[in-house]
Structure 1
């Protein structure tokens, strides 16, 4: 992180490096989150340095507001400005709590409320069609002599059949559990409890949770383990539940490609990424009568407010159906 702070006065650069260490080790944030925070704060500290600050204790509310105003005049979105304001507030709170600054100057810092767009989701029929399309594709591959444009060898055909079984299991498990794609690709074989039909997931902040899945997903995963995984497995596969065609742990890009391809087989369905299946699972749970707290726990949301967006999705779908069906809507 020092490289990003080299242009800063020594006191600010040191504070930034120490805060990055705090985020990585004390808060255990992901590398993606760490880069985002450090990038935002590098921008902030460069700005306050131009205003004369040389140490953490020199920061004041006027400097923070000046930095946010610059974001706005530079055309940054409301969402970006809101995120950067949050990064600044968390940073100044840490400075004060660790004695690096005499007060938390960022506590009163306001930020624009980001516009929240409703996520696209599949209907129940579209979700069923997606999973049916994946199963039909697997059957077609199983019955083909030469598979998916390969050289026609038996080994290539077996690899294609195994990959098709894997894709069915991946789609079924994503929709059944609502887990994130990063959580899915990190799963090991032992994370599945076949007797209880639950999977142990390591989510954001390395928080562990247990998520149930249904019988169709259980059948698809069992078939993948029984008929497909051994075909793709190599000495380097380790305990990974889902494998790529070369035997390593499956890559998130492979999962995204699979989701896009199979959704393309569903007429009029929105083109979703794997996260869209998570949105879909949450929406269908709420529409089926699950309470908000349960869905929050299943999804691994730290805040109930994050889960509440799905109640808006359900309400909007209800309004849309009403407008289309009622003669006096």
Structure 2
């Protein structure tokens, strides 16, 4: 199905493969397949999965494996990483993994790269066995990875499969570092405004002002993330949103849990401060919660404010039927 658009820009999906309280990882992956097929039919442009570790409520830690699973269950939608945390991996391994994915699903694979660990420092050490590789080395790691994909790689080591394949590389970020690097290298940039809204405009400005055309991209192309929870009534949307807020609060406390069901009475579970944060989030640009009319207006304002070329939608919703319905309501706004 051809990609549909909202306000003349395509919409994408960000999936963290949530593992619900009382459920299991296998069911999470079944839910992701169902969602991917659903949004493909609805006309969304791409479906990205994010690398996180040591978090019992997120099932997308083996991101490349899950990308292959989703791509194999769909037929036209682009599938990729939002993103691979490159300092956790040897660039050669990522080149081989995504070279394999591109060979299996030609023209449908995206490689989004981040510089954060996607975890705490202890987990980063367990992944890398050393902390010598850090976000500071991210530019060199990206250069090394790009070399493996080139037609004539420098050095003796080759990525098979990988060498000579045209796999779009995106840089992801929640600050100005990756924005400037993406601009310098002439790559598409995706900003994590869904969890770092205060830096959105600054990062996008840095990207646009410093962009240098490249063989990959002639003009800047920026995608921004937004949390959307849409429902047929405002009350149900706000009730559903309490699940994603519980996940945020558990991470703030350093006590990650499985993805929790919505809360009926906030005062029985949350402190006054947490309730105030939740209410503040409902009014922010980064979290759009409500009926289709509310979502449509706020999303339109968000796009006009950021001048985004594409928006990637994160909808962390406990009940699968409500999750599918939320994306369906968003799709009804598309042309």
TM range (shorter): under 0.3
Greater helix share, 1 or 2? 1
Normalising by structure 1, we get a TM-score of 0.24
- Larger Rg computed on CA atoms: 1
Which structure dedicates a bigger proportion of its chain to strand? Answer: 2
TM, length-normalised to structure 2? 0.24
